[in-house]
Amino acid sequence: MDETTRKTITRRLASAAGHLKGIERMVEEDVYCIDIIRQVQAVQAALNKVNGLILDNHLHTCVTTAIQGDDPDEREKMLKEVTNVFEMSNKI
């Protein structure tokens, strides 16, 4: 992962962590449920963006290297990993 991508992801994760702490306070303070749900949705959207950034990086580095390589088992392994990630996300 290049340094720019790493910094972007780290910054987004720190922001999401801050929002989670805010949600904890909202729950403790018995804030209106819909307001809490909206904040949870915002954190989920932020984490989805992080997933997208990481996936994009993975496709442009690890997967590309495997596809261009001479090892068919490695290519298949990389493709299976990407497929499995999407299968797991549909189960959540």
Domain ranges across the chain: 3-87
- From CA 23, how far away is CA 56, in angstroms rounded? 29
- Assess whether pLDDT exceeds 90 at residue 92: no
Residue 55 exposure: Cα atoms within 13 Å on the Cβ side: 14
- From CA 27, how far away is CA 30, in angstroms rounded? 5
- Cα–Cα distances (Å) from 26 to 10, 12, 70, 73, 75, in that order, read 24, 21, 54, 49, 46
Provide the pLDDT confidence category of residue 60 given band limits of 50, 70 and 90: very high
Q: What pLDDT digit, counting tens, does each position of 5-55 carry?
A: 999 999 999 999 999 999 999 999 999 999 999 999 999 999 999 999 999
Q: Give Cα 72 to chain centroid, integer Å.
A: 28
Read off the pTM.
0.82
Provide the pLDDT confidence category of residue 69 given band limits of 50, 70 and 90: very high
Task: Please state which architecture CATH assigns to domain 3-87.
Answer: Up-down Bundle (1.20)
